[in-house]
Amino acid sequence: MAMAGGYAQASGRLAAVNIHVAPGLGNAMGMLYDAQKAGAPILVTAGQHDQSFAVTEPILWAELPEIARPFVKWAAEVRRLADLPRLLHRAAKTALAPPTGPVFLSIPGDILNAEAEIDLGRPTRVPPRLRGDAAAIAAAAKLLATAERPVILAGDAVARSGALAELVALAEVLAAPVHLEGMDNSAPFPSTHPLFRGPITRLAPQVRKTLDRHDLLLSIGADLLTMSLPSDVEAIPPGIRIIHLDDDAWQLGKNDPAEVAILADPKAALPELTAAVTAAMSNTARVAAERRRKEVEATIAEEQAALTTRAVTEAAKHPTQPLALWQAIGEMLPRNIVVVDETLSSGAGLRRFIAGDDAKSFFGMRGGGIGWGLPAAVGIKLALPDRPVLALIGDGSAMFNCQALWTAAHERLAIVFLILNNGAYRILKQRVNALRGHAAQTGRYVAMDLVDPPIDFTALALSMGVRAERAASLDEVRSALAAALDAAGPTLIDVALDPTFAPV
């Protein structure tokens, strides 16, 4: 399922995945959840028992559409062969129509075995370039033209529609810093652009701190807001004005009231919005924007310089620190690299050091169900065979679907799997610590260590035909990575990382 998800996300095309009856669908549910959150267009099919005896509740049987239904746009069971073309066309059309997402078809054995002349019919495709309501665009432009400190939150709908250049144009007119959404799973804005300010995070107090600097929040295809922990602090400041654009009506104003809500495809709507803002800006607003642009860019450059200083300091430490790792890797990766991110607690700073300037340069786990990254990298590489693919995977997460290593070897896919081996479910320790309960008081984190015995990732990879190396220092990472990027097939690099964390 995660391979299909990665393929669908990276190609933008319909992926098909077939799974086995109720336990197969059950096993796939975590990754189906991730696919749904990512809006991955997938046709999920499952073989179902022969209708002649399904009523006896045979082995592996259950009502499959009911199981799939909460996580798909549409689910059905094919009851007659004659219905198959219509249902298949409906499934594919629905998965690909905006907002895209997975669909499910259960196909009983008697249908699979049946033979008849069937007319395959013709497909329907709903063109995705939905333009925004003209009055809403005008209203948004009016607010934007007079905003004093606007901020843009950019999300995966921008990357999906390939609207990076269009968003850059608007950000430059507004002189607004661009943050990535909390679940920063895509590349909706070039990371080397001087207005790129990195992820906004999923912790309410931090988000609030960021948004308090602004009078207007423009969300373009971003999630408002997916949080990790409850908080006494409201992430959205009470006075801030919100303009919310998305291709999914459900998301608009879902949690916080949008003064202007625009249902539209970003690529179709952004040029109109930018033109309307440009026309609506007074000379004074233009001068203010120019001044603001210099200030915002200077602040971002200072942040980047401070982060680099920290990374350089951390590079001297042993064991390896994640921030130093991103800086070291960022310096040596080719421009066309595709990063697959399941870094969890190690991810801070990643988006600032590893450049990604196009919509397919970065894919992260949108749903939060771990075990996605390793197999997703396989699907992503199949969709983008001409680009190098680097998968950054936490050691705990790697264990959820490590069998995808075999598929990478079997398909001879040149993927680099970098295992962030801190011997722990480290993020769970951080999260439990933040709750200030028993664990924080006693220092005991139950069932969150992966050390007794430690997992031998190089042996695991070798057992599935994947070349592997352990890297105990940054220098060893550099040389292993250089070799892996040149290799014809998959490589796993097991990076020994610092297991400790700073308690909050």
Ligand X SMILES: Cc1ncc(C[n+]2csc(CCOP(=O)(O)OP(=O)(O)O)c2C)c(N)n1
Which residues are at the interface with ligand X (CB under 6 A)?
Answer: 30, 344-346, 368-371, 394-397, 422, 424-428
- 21/397 Cα distance (integer angstroms): 25
Q: Does residue 115 sit in helix, strand or coil?
A: coil
Minimum gap (Å) between residue 341 Cβ and ligand X: 11
The partner in contact with residue 251, picked from Mg ion, ligand X, none with C-beta cut-offs of 5 to 8 angstroms by kind, is none
The partner in contact with residue 367, picked from Mg ion, ligand X, none with C-beta cut-offs of 5 to 8 angstroms by kind, is none
The partner in contact with residue 288, picked from ligand X, Mg ion, none with C-beta cut-offs of 5 to 8 angstroms by kind, is none
The partner in contact with residue 397, picked from ligand X, Mg ion, none with C-beta cut-offs of 5 to 8 angstroms by kind, is ligand X
Contacting Mg ion within 415-434 (CB under 5 A)? 422, 424, 426
Minimum gap (Å) between residue 425 Cβ and Mg ion: 6
The partner in contact with residue 390, picked from ligand X, Mg ion, none with C-beta cut-offs of 5 to 8 angstroms by kind, is none
Cα angle vertex 461, ends 455, 466, to 5°? 165
User: By C-beta, is 413 or 419 nearer to ligand X?
Assistant: 419
Q: Which residue has the tokens 């249908």?
A: 111
Angle between helices 283-315 and 164-174 (to 10 degrees): 110
Minimum gap (Å) between residue 30 Cβ and ligand X: 4
User: By C-beta, is 339 or 383 nearer to ligand X?
Assistant: 339
Size of the site for Mg ion (CB under 5 A): 6
CA 184 distance to own-chain centroid: 6
Q: Which two tokens stand for residue 382?
A: 């199949």
The partner in contact with residue 36, picked from Mg ion, ligand X, none with C-beta cut-offs of 5 to 8 angstroms by kind, is none
Q: Which two tokens stand for residue 117?
A: 């002349």
- Helix extents (H) in 350-471: 350-353, 373-383, 395-398, 404-410, 426-434, 438-442, 457-463
Q: In Å, what is the CA distance from 86 to each residue of 93, 100, 135, 315, 490?
A: 11, 19, 38, 59, 40
Minimum gap (Å) between residue 394 Cβ and ligand X: 2
End-to-end alpha carbon distance in the chain? 36
Minimum gap (Å) between residue 331 Cβ and ligand X: 23
| HEC-encoded secondary structure of 171-237 | HHHHCCCEEECCCCCCCCCCCCCCCEEEECCCCHHHHHHHHCCCCEEEEECCCCCCCCCCCCCCCCC
Minimum gap (Å) between residue 222 Cβ and ligand X: 21
- 87/105 Cα distance (integer angstroms): 8
User: By C-beta, is 130 or 428 nearer to ligand X?
Assistant: 428
- 204/226 Cα distance (integer angstroms): 10
The partner in contact with residue 369, picked from ligand X, Mg ion, none with C-beta cut-offs of 5 to 8 angstroms by kind, is ligand X
Minimum gap (Å) between residue 69 Cβ and ligand X: 20
User: By C-beta, is 191 or 422 nearer to Mg ion?
Assistant: 422
Q: Does residue 241 sit in helix, strand or coil?
A: strand
Give me the phi and psi of 33, to 5 degrees please. Answer: -60, -50
User: By C-beta, is 51 or 228 nearer to ligand X?
Assistant: 228
User: By C-beta, is 325 or 355 nearer to Mg ion?
Assistant: 325
User: By C-beta, is 260 or 344 nearer to Mg ion?
Assistant: 344
> Which residue has its beta carbon closest to ligand X?
394
Minimum gap (Å) between residue 321 Cβ and ligand X: 13
Minimum gap (Å) between residue 192 Cβ and ligand X: 26
Minimum gap (Å) between residue 419 Cβ and ligand X: 9
Give me the phi and psi of 471, to 5 degrees please. Answer: -125, 110
User: By C-beta, is 381 or 426 nearer to Mg ion?
Assistant: 426
- Identify the CA nearest to 466 among candidates 432, 416, 397, 426: 416
Q: Which residue has the tokens 């992430």?
A: 235
Contacting Mg ion within 385-404 (CB under 5 A)? 394-396
The partner in contact with residue 346, picked from ligand X, Mg ion, none with C-beta cut-offs of 5 to 8 angstroms by kind, is ligand X
User: By C-beta, is 281 or 340 nearer to ligand X?
Assistant: 340
- 426/334 Cα distance (integer angstroms): 30
The partner in contact with residue 370, picked from ligand X, Mg ion, none with C-beta cut-offs of 5 to 8 angstroms by kind, is ligand X
The partner in contact with residue 190, picked from Mg ion, ligand X, none with C-beta cut-offs of 5 to 8 angstroms by kind, is none
Query: H or E element: which one contains 93?
Result: helix 84-96
Do strands 389-394 and 362-364 pair parallel, antiparallel, or not at all (unpaired)? unpaired
- Identify the CA nearest to 484 among candidates 469, 474, 464: 469
User: By C-beta, is 350 or 427 nearer to ligand X?
Assistant: 427
Do strands 338-342 and 216-220 pair parallel, antiparallel, or not at all (unpaired)? unpaired
Q: Contact residues for Mg ion (CB under 5 A)?
A: 394-396, 422, 424, 426
